[in-house]
A and B are shown apart, each in its own frame.
Chain A
């Protein structure tokens, strides 16, 4: 037998007692009552690892790269003991026919029981042939694999929203996966890439509790995407105080003031960076002096420069930000008023002149 979830927990120093406690907590939180705890314990001790098929479309592989950075759990433990990473082109030993066969077998053997994890997205232009795998359009493979999946995880900005290749003018018509997969629960884990521990956190949540995490309106797990960077940013006191970096590398930058005026998108970005932080908690963009660029938000590439606070409104076709459009309108109104007032005064003066003249 392979190492089960229980074995892994044990190896990580968790006692049998706390394991059983964990099982009864799980049972209660699932609304099953404590009588179910032994069953859950049994399942965790013996259940085969859940197969995961990880597909890659148009992407940059940084979601995979991020995934392997996980510090808790260690990626090694995830792969060897928690799940069965049965198809993952970037890591798997087999290639070509042998890889294709592996995919077919897993789909058949675990029909309805595997998790499909998708990194990247399918392009739809040129009949999908901007991304070819095994001579076929990636979108076909994606749809076929999704059809028998239990649940789907959309890794990163690519799978969730389209990301950089979908930025204007999106020449390949790169399309978020929820637009081509239907009838399956989809968990979006956005970010470019997402934080490693958020990725493994989402997966282990699904394995541990055998359900999909609670999602927000945009389909993201609330537990990691429920708050903005700004809500938990450690520079927030400087924001409230009105203390900003005014220029790169100025005194305020050296004092760690708020990066709002440098275009920080923390106030409009939902992600766990300011709490979980990156790479085992070492830092996150703002801590290292650059504003958040909003990499976990939909379409963040097309929302104006990363360094502007008041950003572009794309509905205006040409690039224009609210202050430019509005300021121009207000200034035009002011100028029009001045001219109109002068003309009106002139007219009134003329009128009273004629009136006096008539008298």
Chain B
């Protein structure tokens, strides 16, 4: 296949082929290959998931009540979201209703994941695409302090603070042992921040590293640990006891106070550190608006955070649900996970086998049968030493999910866009986005970019940090009113289940729309399929050779230096790729 056009992109794989593998600062194993024209502009992009574990195969025949623990191990970064999706799928199949408090606690845990995951992503997985660590050595601590104080009330901002930090950084660099910062792209012309902003960002990189471990304690309180807290079909495992003897070990006043203090501090950190940093960095990069990819055409979200328990309709979801296609922001399509016409997975370019690969399969009838075959006329290398993949053949462990035939972008930008176009239901999102656009003095279109995605993540974190506080208040109000139920055990015993059942569960994972589809037969799992955010975004081509969101986002981006893939990393990182998730 030579040059062709799809989804408004002109693909041309004739230029110089550049491989980036491994892509670092992501979860899991990802490879990209791009073709550069003579001006070092990307004219073709190929993204490949390079790992597969087979969870869908492993789940067959097991107890549906155990599935959450298996699926939770799909990923330790978005820990918990698969578990929540799984218990929802089982509850859907068996028509189990959960108590109101269980819903609130699940919401708190899910929101907590958002705040943690987004914060860690911004500082530890993404910041170094914008921030030059070595340049921070040249900063004037006093001016750094002035900068920091001009954008936030955060107390750690004295000249002395930044000087100490700079000294520590100096010692570190002079040791010659640069650890995770070794051999990177320092000094690349694509870095735009002045030294002072770099120093401030490095300081917050370290502060965020210290602070992130505090955030997750909400998971620890309700789920016993993080990563990988515990969940329960029918509710949550933690009981509530605020009055009686023996309350230690249950959720009691001391535990609630700890939750409260963590969510308050998290909100403060997001408001006073994350958002000001984001805006400061963005203000230096607002001229670099590449990387929009599919976001201006096709976005999808299942929605999440049900306000009332057991009601998963769009009107009850605090994170928006819907699909936009063809770039028509005026029309939000309804999404139905059980409609066989809507979600389908293709494997034409994926290392799997279907009986008939001309058709996609709805996840209820999904098949996962690996079929590793690197091939094609342009494939270079051997079976175990890949030099170049050929995108005209099979080339990835990721399947290609499509919504009504369209490749979709999922994730924070999709959600924030869907909130933005439904302002009556989501005024906070609309107002915050407008505020940010105004502050940066950029038009709405600027959202459709790498930077837009990164900003959407920050805005969403702010929203979720705020929702956490509200959900907490709801929990307290319920307890005050005497409701302490956290689990419904009516259908705990498999003997109460029908002989056959099927259900779909969804969440909005931090990276986007996540669905699990389960079929239960004779109390065991008969089929289990997951379609995961990074399956959507990292999707390879499909039967019609449409490209996925990663591939689209890299198109037409110029590289400052052909041998330093900084811009590629920047754009890919803006999706927060998770490859363990994508292939599972």
B interface, over-half SS? loop
Interface extent on B, as a size class? 35 or more
B19's nearest neighbour on chain A, judged by CB, is A96
Cross-interface CB contact of B227 among A126, A193, A234, cutoff 8 Å: A193
Chain A neighbourhood of B210, CB < 8 A: 74, 76
Q: How far is the CB of B305 from chain A (nearest CB, A)?
A: 21
Cross-interface CB contact of A79 among B179, B221, B565, cutoff 8 Å: B179
In the bound complex, CA of A80 to CA of B565 (Å): 26
Cross-interface CB contact of B25 among A93, A170, A172, A293, cutoff 8 Å: A93
A253's nearest neighbour on chain B, judged by CB, is B239
In the bound complex, CA of A133 to CA of B24 (Å): 11
B494-534 CB contact bits vs A (8 Å, 1 = yes)? Answer: 00000000000000000000000000000000000000000
Chain A neighbourhood of B222, CB < 8 A: 288
A235-267 CB contact bits vs B (8 Å, 1 = yes)? Answer: 100000000000111000111110000000000
Cross-interface CB contact of A135 among B65, B250, B386, B492, cutoff 8 Å: B386
Q: How far is the CB of A266 from chain B (nearest CB, A)?
A: 12
A85-121 CB contact bits vs B (8 Å, 1 = yes)? Answer: 1101111111111111110010000000000000000
B29 and A94 within 8 A (CB): no
A94 and B182 within 8 A (CB): yes
B79 and A84 within 8 A (CB): no
Give the total of A residues in contact with B, Cβ under 8 Å: 101
In the bound complex, CA of A255 to CA of B532 (Å): 39
In the bound complex, CA of A249 to CA of B239 (Å): 5
Q: Knowing A93-B184, A134-B22, A279-B220 touch, does A60 contact B237 (C-beta < 8 A)?
A: no
Cross-interface CB contact of A68 among B70, B213, B383, cutoff 8 Å: B213
B384 and A127 within 8 A (CB): yes
Q: How far is the CB of B179 from chain A (nearest CB, A)?
A: 5
- Among the 9-residue stretches B166-174, B355-363, B549-557, the one with 4 or more Cβ atoms under 8 Å from chain A is B166-174
B486 and A249 within 8 A (CB): yes
In the bound complex, CA of A241 to CA of B353 (Å): 56
B124's nearest neighbour on chain A, judged by CB, is A91
Q: Knowing A172-B53, A253-B239 touch, does A59 contact B70 (C-beta < 8 A)?
A: no
Q: How far is the CB of A85 from chain B (nearest CB, A)?
A: 5
A95 and B20 within 8 A (CB): yes
Q: Knowing A2-B175, A171-B370, A254-B240 touch, does A90 contact B26 (C-beta < 8 A)?
A: yes
A2 and B185 within 8 A (CB): no
Chain B neighbourhood of A90, CB < 8 A: 24-27, 125
Interface positions of A from 1 to 36, Cβ below 8 Å from B = 1-3
Q: How far is the CB of B259 from chain A (nearest CB, A)?
A: 10
Instruction: Report if A289 contacts B (CB, 8 A).
Output: yes
B50 and A282 within 8 A (CB): no
Interface positions of B from 62 to 105, Cβ below 8 Å from A = 63, 65-66, 69-70, 73-77, 79
Cross-interface CB contact of B76 among A2, A63, A255, A305, cutoff 8 Å: A63
In the bound complex, CA of A255 to CA of B247 (Å): 6
A289 and B177 within 8 A (CB): no
In the bound complex, CA of A284 to CA of B225 (Å): 6
Instruction: Report if B230 contacts A (CB, 8 A).
Output: yes
Instruction: Report if B7 contacts A (CB, 8 A).
Output: no
Cross-interface CB contact of A62 among B223, B228, B237, B563, cutoff 8 Å: B228
B24 and A93 within 8 A (CB): yes
Cross-interface CB contact of B220 among A49, A95, A174, A283, cutoff 8 Å: A283
Q: How far is the CB of A126 from chain B (nearest CB, A)?
A: 5
A248 and B25 within 8 A (CB): no
A61 and B133 within 8 A (CB): no
Chain B neighbourhood of A79, CB < 8 A: 179-180
Q: How far is the CB of A76 from chain B (nearest CB, A)?
A: 5
In the bound complex, CA of A300 to CA of B327 (Å): 48
Chain B neighbourhood of A256, CB < 8 A: 241, 246-250
A74's nearest neighbour on chain B, judged by CB, is B210
| 20 pairs, CB–CB < 8 Å, chain A vs chain B | A2-B175, A59-B76, A61-B580, A76-B210, A90-B125, A96-B565, A129-B383, A129-B384, A130-B53, A131-B52, A172-B52, A247-B492, A255-B241, A255-B245, A256-B246, A278-B224, A282-B217, A289-B224, A290-B231, A293-B69
Residues of B bordering A, CB below 8 Å: 19-29, 31, 50-55, 57-58, 63, 65-66, 69-70, 73-77, 79, 120, 124-125, 128, 133, 168, 171-172, 174-177, 179-185, 206, 209-210, 212-213, 216-217, 219-232, 234-241, 244-250, 258, 370, 372, 381, 383-387, 397, 484-487, 489, 492, 563-565, 569, 580
